[in-house]
Structure 1
Amino acid sequence: MYTKESLIRNLEQLEVDRNGTLLVHSSYKSIGEVEGGPDTILDALTDYMKNGLLVMPTHTWSYIDENNPRFHVQDSPSCVGILTELFRKRPGVVRSLHPTHSVAALGKDAEAFVTGNEKCDTPCGPQSPWGKLLERKATIMLLGVDLRRNTFMHGIEEWANIPNRVADRPVLLYTILPDGTEIPVPSRRHSGGENWSDYFWKVNDIFIKKGVMYTGRFGLAEVRICDADRMTSLLNQMLRINPDLFSTIDPLDPALEYEGDRT
């Protein structure tokens, strides 16, 4: 059985920057049996990052839409796992106001990090917390999940203006504050009739080869530790060569050579 102390040792072994910005995508079940359950995992993460900024996605895209347009900041549950749902309710945690792709943050500059998210008309715009991850040269931890759950990669595609990634026509959604105030948020949702992230797995090996990502363990879970800055640089290069990189299941072209690739 894993304990808070053993999980903190795992984070130390993973060499996560305690003073930096850490975004965690997670699968609770992948970690194995933990003394105290999910709260112990959150205790380990928050204690480890007490001098930095800890961020988790608290998305609601699975049920907030034009037929159900009201996102209640305080009450609308996260659709991306139990750890994210419990984290957003913790003392001191602040949640951003985007109706479909909110995040929750705790620690250094948390308020500034989430501020203004409701002004973004796409899920992962450059002024959103997803863009701020790049500004901060953040670490992205995929805890028991793979690159298909890496929302930041949607952001890179948005910023590169890859066709068919967001709708041309916005739908009117509303963010509801705890005091009942309604904020109208025109939102251009992810589009195209495909789940483009299903193909994010294609860059797993080149991410490791190029030093964008490395792997380790947190409890029983396999963990991928990603460098947001390096990831953006490499994917921008790959998307310039092939804008349809994640539009098809076709594997990477082994004949293509990317900057620094000499093996």
Structure 2
Amino acid sequence: MQSLVESFRSIGIKPGTRLIVHSALRHLGPIEGGADTLLDALLACIGQSGIVMVPTFTYNNVVYDPEATPSGTGIFTEIVRKRPGAVRSLHPTHSVAAIGEGAAQLCEGHHPLPGFGIDSPLDRLAKAGGGILLLGVGHTGNSTVHVGESHARVPYLDIPFNPEWPSRIAITGPVPMEVDLYDHPGCSRAFGVVEASLRQRKAIRDGKIGTGLAQWMSGESVISAAVDLLRQDAAALLCNDPECYRCSRARARLGR
């Protein structure tokens, strides 16, 4: 584990760091102890005052149980979700789980908001000086770019990613409720364009975790880069696939 701790520290992760991790462990090569060891190393780096957050998205489920509905975003996110002391937000399609000081405050009140809207957990994390760690994935997996779309108030937020997905979802738990979804997160296949802008700003620190590549950056820099791109071109973050429901209709609305 010590080599992982040293690798994380080398890219700037230190006591008190707050971060969201997007990961594909298969691209990191063999890690002794697997995802549990990876989490232990991160927690050792950030100490008692830091926070590790992960996406635990469930996308198009009909009923969401924050205690039992598994994450659809990889094994590392499930390890975090199930770790004692972890807090999971109540958003029925784009929940997050977090461990550390202030995790409950970051996650609370997520369910009535857009998944990546203003004052969502990812937005709060960025405003609190938090960062984004990409482990074995590129910016197509960087959900904070969606927060930039919300700040830019792009005119296609109301278009769903898939019209067949439910727009109202039941949440089970101590206080059962139903939540209406709006300002939907969409396609992220074109988000790679954000990287060039971030590198021009010298906002990315590169590293290596295991045999895989890692990128570390602040959440505020990602939101700022996305907003700037969208102010120049409202279609900057839309893919070109005519079969993509969200992006094709967004382009049509924008006259593209």
TM category (shorter chain) comes to: 0.7 to 0.9
Distance 1:189 1:241 in 2: 21
1:225 to 213, 216, 222: 216
Q: Give aligned pairs, total.
A: 236
Query: Structure 1 residues 83-92 or 130-139, which shifts more?
Result: 130-139
SS at match of 1:231: helix
1:116 to 109, 113, 120: 109
1:63-78 to structure 2, matched below 5 A, reads 63-64=60-61, 68=62, 70-78=63-71
1:210-252 Cα distance to aligned partner (Å, 9 max, x none): 1222311111110111211122223222211111111245xxx
Q: Which residue matches 2:152?
A: 160
1:204 is matched by which residue type in structure 2? E
TM-score, L = length of structure 1: 0.84
SS at match of 1:106: strand
Do the aligned partners of 2:18 and 2:52 also contact (CA within 8 Å) in 1? yes
Q: Which residue matches 1:142?
A: 134
TM-score, L = length of structure 2: 0.86
1:58 to 34, 41, 56: 56
Unaligned runs of 5+ in 2: 241-256
Q: Which residue matches 2:87?
A: 94
Do the aligned partners of 2:28 and 2:136 also contact (CA within 8 Å) in 1? yes
1:190 to 184, 187, 201: 184
Distance 1:79 1:196 in 2: 16
State percent identity of aligned pairs. Answer: 30
Distance 2:184 2:108 in 1: 22
1:11 to 8, 11, 14: 8
1:41-66 Cα distance to aligned partner (Å, 9 max, x none): 111112222231111111101x31xx
The offset of 1:162, in angstroms, is 0.9
The offset of 1:146, in angstroms, is 0.3
| Structure 1 consecutive aligned stretches of length 4 or more whose deviation exceeds 4 Å | none
Distance 1:246 1:112 in 2: 30
Query: Structure 1 residues 182-191 or 70-79, which shifts more?
Result: 182-191
Query: Structure 1 residues 203-212 or 5-14, which shifts more?
Result: 203-212
The CA RMSD over aligned residues, in Å, is 2.0
Query: Structure 1 residues 161-170 or 52-61, which shifts more?
Result: 161-170
Do the aligned partners of 1:55 and 1:104 also contact (CA within 8 Å) in 2? yes
2:57 is matched by which residue type in structure 1? H
1:148-206 Cα distance to aligned partner (Å, 9 max, x none): 001110111022111223338982112212x4x31211112637xxx631111122222
